Structure 1
Amino acid sequence: MPIDLSAVLATFAGRDEIWASWVDTVPGRVVALLEEWKLVPDGPAMHGFASVVVPVLHQRDRAVLKVAFPDDESEHEALALQHWHGRGAVTLLRADPRRRALLLERLHPTDLTEHWDVEACEVVGGLYADLHRPALPQLRTLTSYVERWGAALGSLPRSAPLPRRLVEQAVSLGHDLVGDPASVGRVIHGDLHYANVLAGDRAPWLAIDPKPMSGDPHYEVAPLLWNRFDELAGDVREGVRRRFHATIDAAGLDEDRARDWVVVRVLHNALWAIQDGDPDPAWLTTCVAIAKAVQD
C-alpha cells in the first residue's frame, strides 16, 4: 500500500529552517528504508514531537519504522534500546543511526495518560530497575548538562520572575550533585512520563522514546510531577507529594536525593522558558509549585 506522509509532516510546519530541511528529507528516507528493509506499510503514519512513525509488517511480524529529527537528546536512542534488549523498553529490531531510523516492535496505542496518576507512577517506578543499567561510555553525562544549566540559572538577574531563594537553592543543589560520582554511571531514560510508556503483549508496560544519558536514576522522577499537572488543581501540594512518594517507593529510591533532583530539574525548566522569551506565567507557577510541594 502507498504511504501518505502529508498530514503527518504538516504537523511540523511553522518550525525553523532546520526542521523544514529535515521534513523535506523524510519522504525519500521512508521510501528508501521501506525498500531496503523489506517493510510493508500497515496503517496510517503517526508522529511524535520529533519523529515520524510508520506501522509496517516485517517478515509478517507487526513493527513500526521510526524516523527521528537529528537532535542531540536522541542521538543514542538506538544504543540505549540495544543495551536494554527489550527489558523494560520497546525492542529494537534494526537501526540506522546515521539516518536516525529505527525498526521497533509494535506496541499498543494505550499509554498511561488515562490511568489513575498514582497507579501510573507506580508502573513507571517499577520500570526503573530494568532501565537503569550500567551506563555505556558513549552516552553524554547528565552532569555535563547540569553544570551548564546551573551556570545559566545562577546568571539570571534578580528581577527574573522566580523566587530568588529557589533559584539559589537549585544552583547550590545542582553544584553538589555535579560533584557527586553517583550522579553518573547508570543509563537513564531522560524523559520517562505517562505518554512514553505503552502497553505491550510480552509485558504489560514498556518504555519508548528515550533521551538517554549516563546519569542518576533519581533524576527520572520529575516529569511525572509536571505532566498532567492540571489534574492536581485544588490539591497541588498533596497531589504532587502522592505522585512523588508513589514513584520513589515503587523504585526504592532515596527520598532526599530524588527531592533534590526534582528541585533542580523544575528550576531548569523555568530557566529555559525564560531564556526562550515571554515565558508563560502558568508554566513558571507550575515549576515553582512543584519545587515547593516536594519540600513542604
Structure 2
Amino acid sequence: MGFEPPERLVRALGETYGEAAGGWLGRLPALADEALSVPGHEVLPERVVAPGGRSSLVLLVHRPDGTPAALKIAPPAAGPALERAALAHWNGWGAVELLLPGDRAALPGDALLLERLGHEVSLRSLPEAKALLEAAGTVRRLWVGPPPGHPFETVVERTGRQAEPMRAAAARDEALAPLVTAALAAREELVAQETESFLLHGNFRQSKVLSGGRAPWLAVGPEPLTGERAYDLARLVRDRVEDLIASPGGAVTARRRIRKLADSLEVDQARLHGWTLFRAVESGTRALTAGRRREGELTLEFAGWL
C-alpha cells in the first residue's frame, strides 16, 4: 500500500525519537503491507486517518466479511505490546475492542486490529460540562485491578523517570525552577503515601474518548500503568487549556474542575491537585525541550494557577 505518513506523525516522532524515527518511518509502508496481509486475517485498506495521532499510524480497513475496523501501527518504543495487554484485559469495557485477542493479536510490525470508532468525533465535540460528565463515566469503567503478572510499570516508576528531565529543564532555565521544585515536592509526598493500585489509562483526556457503536463513548490510545486513580484524572483537569488560559475566570474554573472530578469519582481532592500540578509541569517542560514553545508556555501558565 503506497502512502505518505501524516505530517503530524512525522514531526512528533522526530521530536521524540530523533534520527531513529526516520528509520521506522521508512519501513512503515512495508510494515503496513505486512500487517494487511496476515494469512487468514487479511484486511482491505480504505484510507489513512489524518491528521492522526502523534505516536502511531491508523489505517481504516475492512475485514473480509465487510466489517469495518482500524489497523494501528506504532514503533516499539511507543509500547504497542503494553497497549495490547491493557485492551485485552479491559475486553471492550470502556475502551476500544481488540479484534484479534490472545496469540492472534501478535500481528507483525507491532500492529493492533481494533474495532472502528468515530475517529472524527471525540468528547471535545461536546460542551465542556457534558464532556467532563461523559469522561468521568468512561474512565470509571477502566479502573479495574491489573491482571496477574502484568507487564505495566507503576505511577512511581513512570514519574520517577520523568523527574530527571524536569530537573534538567530547570537547570537550563532558572525561571522554571520554582514550578519544577513545587511539582517534584508534590510527587515525593504523593508517592510516599500511595495506597491503591488500579490499571490506569495513563493518558486519559477528552480527545482520547471517541464515539462508538456498541457504546456511546470508548477510550482509545492508552499508555497503561498501575497506580492511583487521581493520577489518571490529572491530565483531564487541564483539557482545553487554550480556552482556560483565554478566559478571565480560567484559574477558578481549573480549581473547580479538580473539586468536581474528585467529588464525582470519589478520589482525594488534595491528591488530584498534586498530580495535576506534577503532570502539568512535566508536560510543559517536555514541550519546551521539544521546541513546542507555545504549548509549553500555556501548560506551565496553567500549572502556575495551581
The answer, yes or no, to whether TM exceeds 0.5 is yes
Give how far 1:135 is off: 2.1
Spell out the pairing of 1:230-245 with structure 2 (5 A cutoff).
230-232=242-244, 233=246, 234-245=248-259
Give how far 1:244 is off: 2.7
Equivalence for 2:189: 176
Q: Verify the 8 A CA contact 1:128 1:251 in the aligned structure 2.
A: no
Deviations 1:101-127 (A, max 9, x none): 000010113111121122211211112
The one of 147, 170, 178 equivalent to 2:160 is: 147
Q: Verify the 8 A CA contact 2:143 2:229 in the aligned structure 1.
A: yes
Residue type matched to 2:70 in 1? V
The one of 100, 112, 122 equivalent to 2:110 is: 100
TM-score (norm 2): 0.83
Distance 2:139 2:8 in 1: 32
Residue type matched to 2:44 in 1? V
Deviations 1:115-165 (A, max 9, x none): 11222112111122211111243101110122233355456349622362x
Distance 1:51 1:92 in 2: 16
Residue type matched to 2:241 in 1? F
Give how far 1:217 is off: 1.1
Equivalence for 1:71: 77
Residue type matched to 2:274 in 1? D
Residue type matched to 1:178 in 2? V
Distance 2:204 2:290 in 1: 26
Equivalence for 2:24: 22
Aligned to 2:259, the other structure's residue is in SS state: helix
* Greater Cα shift, 261-270 or 144-153: 144-153
Q: Mind listing any 5+ residue stretches in structure 1 that lack a counterpart?
A: none
Deviations 1:190-216 (A, max 9, x none): 111111100111111000000001122
Q: Verify the 8 A CA contact 2:83 2:222 in the aligned structure 1.
A: yes
1:30–1:256 Cα change, 3 Å: same
Spell out the pairing of 1:27-176 with structure 2 (5 A cutoff).
27-36=29-38, 37-41=41-45, 43-46=46-49, 47-58=52-63, 59-94=65-100, 95-96=105-106, 99-109=109-119, 110-136=121-147, 137-154=150-167, 156-157=170-171, 160-162=174-176, 164=178, 166-176=179-189
Give how far 1:189 is off: 0.7
RMSD after superposition: 2.5
Structure 2 residue 203 is matched with structure 1 residue 199? no
Structure 2 residue 3 is matched with structure 1 residue 5? yes
TM-score (norm 1): 0.86
Asked which structure has the greater RCO (Cα within 8 Å, sep 6+), the reply is: 1
Aligned residues: 286
Distance 2:263 2:211 in 1: 22
Structure 2 residue 266 is matched with structure 1 residue 264? no
Q: Mind listing any 5+ residue stretches in structure 2 that lack a counterpart?
A: none
Q: Verify the 8 A CA contact 2:9 2:53 in the aligned structure 1.
A: no
Percent same amino acid among aligned pairs? 27
Distance 1:271 1:73 in 2: 22
Equivalence for 2:305: 292
Aligned to 1:135, the other structure's residue is in SS state: coil
Distance 1:10 1:236 in 2: 32
